[in-house]
Structure 1
Amino acid sequence: MIHKEGFSFLVYTLVIILLLLIFSFFLLSRLVFIFISVFFVILYSFFIFFFRNPKKKSREIHEKNYNIETIISPADGKILKIQKIFENEFFKKNYICISIFMSLFNVHINRFPVSGKVIYVKYYPGKHMIAWKTKSSSYNEHTTTVIKTFKGKKVLFRQIAGFLARRIIIYAKKNSIVKKGDEFGFIKFGSRVDIFLPLNSIILVKKGEKVIGGETKISIIPL
């Protein structure tokens, strides 16, 4: 299944590829034409793979223990780092930051890590440095979203564009009620998602671990 963000890109790319193949057929030798054709088939197959949207059942996680808030991963990828840092945009104090790096081979759909009310959404244009660099969170194109959960906890997460990423899409709207596991955005071609959690959070993942967006439990916040 193809994600909606890939439809127009795939159509335009297919048209360009077909036009290039037509010109190549008449202007180049047969051997070169075959080589180019194989290259474009592989390239287009990768684009289809990148925009895949795995069909899954509802990802809502029902808490059995009402004294905790369970946080699920907002993205597919690998845990890049887990550190205590000063969050200077919204909270203005130290928080635990979990960074998830999405390579070109990961599903690039972003999902709400908790259910609740969206109380803050902001988009920042910027540069496109390599996503795993520390400075990329401030200088790269990015978005910031904060949700206040139904249990009163506030969780901040940030989409950060990478070197190849040239467009961040965000669906989250301020004051809307959202459900854990539902889509909140998409980043095209290589990127990172940071999630900021209270200092008393119990971290369930470790650096280098692979996670699945909307499924992997990454933290528990005691109430």
Structure 2
Amino acid sequence: MNQKYPHPFLAREGWPFIGGTFLLALLWTAFAGFGFIAAVLWILFLIVTQFFRDPPRTVPSMPEAVLSPADGQVVKVEKTIDPFTNEEAILISVFMNLFNVHCQRFPVNGTVEDVQYYPGKFLNADLDKASTENERNAVIVRVNDGNRITVVQVAGLVARRILCYIQKGDELKKGERYGFIRFGSRLDVYLPTDATPCVTIGEKVLGTETILAKLAPKAE
């Protein structure tokens, strides 16, 4: 389904911001010369441009692997309750700062069982309570091997827009692009309790290329 959405190296979500900051910096430089303000505007343009980069990624071939849905740093690996399914789960949280790639890519091969959006606050996404109090969008996925996971986009302190391009019933493959969060955020991944985490707190991960965990096969 989301193959209909093109994703060049600079994400389409960022084109208005990239174009706007470039035009502002260009006009200021043209009419006021290159001074302090012009330098700040050009630096802002460079920061915005790098924020919206969306490079291609290699998808690991391991069938039981759950891939990281985004770039960032692992801030939590713990047993908890998945608030969207009310099932016991292992939670792996990935925090994205302003310098990470901010598009989200699907972590497994599976079918979307449900998409749940919740409005909320815009607390620092590094805080524990951000998972339950911030604006968030949860995608519940039935993995092709029978397991079920939940992937949650969580808005952050600066983030003001969660974008999700999939809906209930969509079938996606690992590495397919499905969403974007503008300007700082977090991804929570809830896994079955028999999954084996492959990352530790503090570890830096790359969307699609890093294996977050391995799923245990479901009994026939």
Normalising by structure 2, report the TM-score. 0.89
Letter of the structure 1 residue corresponding to residue 74 of structure 2: I
SS of the aligned residue for 1:44 comes to: helix
Does 2:160 match 1:159?
A: no
Q: How many residues align?
A: 209
Letter of the structure 2 residue corresponding to residue 9 of structure 1: F
Task: Evaluate the alpha carbon distance shift between residue 21 and residue 5 of structure 1 in structure 2; reply closer, same or farther with a 3 A threshold.
Answer: same
Q: Which residue of 2 aligns with 1:189?
A: 183
Does 2:114 match 1:120?
A: yes
Does 2:11 match 1:3?
A: yes
Instruction: Quote the sequence identity (%).
Output: 39
CA RMSD after TM alignment: 1.6
Q: Which residue of 1 aligns with 2:22?
A: 14
Contact 2:91/2:188 (<8 A) preserved: yes
Contact 1:61/1:180 (<8 A) preserved: no
Contact 2:104/2:178 (<8 A) preserved: yes
Question: C-alpha distance in 2, partners of 1:218/1:136?
Answer: 21
Cα drift, residue 218 of structure 1: 1.2
Cα drift, residue 89 of structure 1: 2.1
Q: Which residue of 2 aligns with 1:211?
A: 205
Q: Which residue of 1 aligns with 2:4?
A: none
Question: C-alpha distance in 2, partners of 1:132/1:172?
Answer: 26
Question: C-alpha distance in 1, partners of 2:102/2:41?
Answer: 22
* Stretches of structure 2 lacking an aligned partner (at least 5 in a row): 1-8
Question: C-alpha distance in 1, partners of 2:131/2:138?
Answer: 10
The counterpart of 1:88, out of the listed 76, 83, 87, is 83
Does 2:167 match 1:173?
A: yes
Question: C-alpha distance in 2, partners of 1:212/1:97?
Answer: 18
Letter of the structure 1 residue corresponding to residue 61 of structure 2: I
Q: Which residue of 2 aligns with 1:72?
A: 67
Q: Which residue of 2 aligns with 1:51?
A: 52
* Stretches of structure 1 lacking an aligned partner (at least 5 in a row): 64-68
SS of the aligned residue for 2:39 comes to: helix
Does 2:97 match 1:103?
A: yes
Contact 2:25/2:38 (<8 A) preserved: no
Question: C-alpha distance in 2, partners of 1:61/1:6?
Answer: 31
Question: C-alpha distance in 2, partners of 1:218/1:93?
Answer: 20
SS of the aligned residue for 2:35 comes to: helix
Q: Which residue of 1 aligns with 2:141?
A: 147
String of CA shifts for 1:6-46, please: whole Å, max 9, x gaps: 112222333344455566x2xxxx6xx51111111111011
Q: Which residue of 2 aligns with 1:37?
A: 38
Contact 2:57/2:208 (<8 A) preserved: no
Question: C-alpha distance in 2, partners of 1:157/1:120?
Answer: 11
Letter of the structure 2 residue corresponding to residue 96 of structure 1: I
Question: C-alpha distance in 1, partners of 2:158/2:43?
Answer: 19
Letter of the structure 2 residue corresponding to residue 74 of structure 1: P
Contact 2:91/2:190 (<8 A) preserved: yes
Q: Which residue of 2 aligns with 1:66?
A: none
Q: Which residue of 1 aligns with 2:127?
A: 133
